[in-house]
Chains A and B, each alone.
Chain A
Amino acid sequence: MNDKSIKQNSLLIVDDELVVRDSLSKWFKQDGYRVDTAEDASHAIKKMNDGPWNVILLDIKMPGMSGLELQKRLREIDPSISTIMITAFASVESAVQALKEGAFDYVTKPVDPDHLSHLVANALRQKKLAEENAQLHEHISEMAQGDEIVGNSPQMKKVIELAKTVAQTDTTVMIRGESGSGKELIARAIHVNSPRRYFPIIAVNCGAVPETLLESELFGHEKGAFTGAQYRRKGKFEMADGGTIFLDEIGTISQKMQVQLLRVIESKQFTRVGGNEVIHSDFRIICATNRDLEEAVKEGTFREDLYYRLNVFAVFIPPIRERRTDIPLLVQHFLKKYSAVMNKPINEVTPDTMDLLVRYDWPGNVRELENVIERAMVLAKPPAIRPDDLPFQLGVNHHVPTDDSIASVEKAHIEAILAKSGWNITRSAEILSIDRVTLYNKIAKYGLIKP
């Protein structure tokens, strides 16, 4: 198990003394490092092109630019470098300064070899941990992307494009769309693509919280603010500090709440219910509604000033019946999701099932589609979802006669009864008021096949 078998660590030695450069580089080469040396600051800066260097050993006292100054310059080039300062002239001030400016450690010449090899090994370990941390951070960010927005239709492409554009700013966003069209999904997508992504997105469904509790829900309350308020509670605006607050069903809030909301949006400060302390919170607002706010403004039920405050950047999510080309994609997405969740090897829908799914109007939008697929996954037998696995309102028109002849009507009826009873011959025969032999004969006659 030679060191060569693992990824080679690299080390840059910057010292004006040739003998120091030589002995250190020899020492670390034998340890399997990729080593290079530089005699002064300008050479060291040039050598940064041959990097990345895992660790840089820096002499503090060099002609021209000192090691401390060089450390600063090198950090500008690569902020992740790990430096160990080496000097023959130890002084507390230079040691403190080196460490303050981010050096990993500080040693005086001559160095104990045991100490030096541990020091470099520790610097490497720390650097690796930092890199690993950054990678995990990135990984978490990727995971935090949350549910994928699925859609290839021009309408959805435009929505995604708008969301991406507005994510980079702190602008208030109003998301419009029918119930179940994925407004919260878009809000979360805006948040995770924004610079606020490392802080929380706090979702409040204004329509689901009783009017009397909404104020406390949003602004928090002090102990004893009202009967039952035994402890102080942080409000959603306070919790969203640094992040985003998502106000769903904003159209349902009362006139009184509208006034308070307007004030908070304008000042970014508020007091908890029953308290005097002014709380500052840095949040971004994304709100959503499926109501016609313009009409509400005209009617006087929604404040015009608040409407303009909230409707700075509007994103409209079209219902899926207006973008039917997205249905097969959404179906595939949910199939994949639920086959993994349920551990069922179902990864397709039969063409006639897809046809039904695409033709249906989906009043409940994506949410309804997801529920239908989830339900069908429970019922379906691998490898595919069939029309019979769909809920009644979708599957009803499956067993229809192809023409008005008696034979055609009979075939469709038998097929429907068989499907309903799960191809239980005895039960189907009972329902049809025929004996089992007759049913078998008719199944054979019409060429019906058990799914």
Chain B
Amino acid sequence: MPSILVVPVQPCDNDSVSALVSPLETIFRFPASIDATKAIDPSFAFDVYRNQFNSTALISAFIQRFKGLRGKIIGVTSVDLFVPVLTYVFGEAQLDGPFAVVSAHRLDDTLYGLPANPTLLHERLVKEAVHELGHTFGLLHCLDYRCVMHSSTAVEDIDVKSENFCRSCEALLRTHALQ
């Protein structure tokens, strides 16, 4: 059975990272844990021109750092992430690979001039973490707007979908996990 390891990528809110473990276990029904000792300093991925962190570079660092480790590994951070051709990303994952990274930065309502909403922030972070981990299990974007694998390119999209997989994606996930 695959396991999920949550790794903080500093700076990040440790409480919200810890709070991910339980929902990930519930949704995936695989053992999940957090390892703060393996926390990563992402400064090498910082792009001074964009004032953002390159998520692809972060994934590359994961590959080096966690060589030989089995299971799925997801980094969680509060910094703003980008891939070179896009203005931002909520997260990035290796399709059918072991690594993913997700950022809480753009999930925070205060960034949009709204009052802070920690509950909503937590829900969004759970959904995005599940979504990126879903990619590591080979899942593609789903057309069902309620499915967590539905593509979200704006924060409002995340609020529309649920944190769960639709039946089809759930079936694909289970099939993949057995392989």
Asked if B85 contacts A32 (CB within 8 A), the reply is no
CB distance from B167 to the nearest CB of A (A): 9
Asked if B85 contacts A30 (CB within 8 A), the reply is no
Q: Which residue from chain B places its CB closest to the CB of A13 in the assembled complex?
A: B85
Interface centre among B86, B92, B143 (most CB of A within 10 A): B86
Asked if B135 contacts A19 (CB within 8 A), the reply is no
* Segment with Cβ contacts to B, from A1-9, A67-75, A160-168, A206-214: A1-9
Q: Which residues of B contact A29 (CB under 8 A)?
A: 95, 140
CB distance from B123 to the nearest CB of A (A): 20
**At the interface, is chain B mostly helix, strand, loop or mixed?**
loop
Q: Which residue from chain B places its CB closest to the CB of A3 in the assembled complex?
A: B140
Q: Which residue from chain B places its CB closest to the CB of A22 in the assembled complex?
A: B56
A20 CA / B89 CA spacing, docked (Å)? 14
Q: Which residue from chain A places its CB closest to the CB of B155 in the assembled complex?
A: A114
Cross-interface CB contact of A3 among B50, B56, B89, B143, cutoff 8 Å = B143
A27 CB within 8 Å of chain B: yes
A448 CB within 8 Å of chain B: no
Asked if A111 contacts B86 (CB within 8 A), the reply is yes
CB distance from A271 to the nearest CB of B (A): 62
Give the interface size class of chain B: 20 to 34
A23 CA / B139 CA spacing, docked (Å)? 17
Cross-interface CB contact of A5 among B88, B139, B147, B168, cutoff 8 Å = B168
Cross-interface CB contact of B154 among A1, A6, A22, A114, cutoff 8 Å = A114
Q: Which residues of B contact A439 (CB under 8 A)?
A: none
Query: How many residue pairs between the two chains, A and B, have CB atoms under 8 Å in the bound complex?
Result: 80
Interface of chain B residues 81 through 124 with chain A (CB within 8 A): 82-89, 92-93, 95
Asked if A114 contacts B153 (CB within 8 A), the reply is yes
Cross-interface CB contact of B85 among A4, A5, A23, A114, cutoff 8 Å = A23
Asked if A23 contacts B83 (CB within 8 A), the reply is yes
Q: Which residues of A contact B172 (CB under 8 A)?
A: 2
CB distance from A398 to the nearest CB of B (A): 67
B166 CB within 8 Å of chain A: yes
B129 CB within 8 Å of chain A: no
Chain B residues close to A by CB (< 8 Å) = 50, 56, 82-89, 92-93, 95, 135, 139-144, 147, 149, 151, 153-154, 166, 168-169, 172
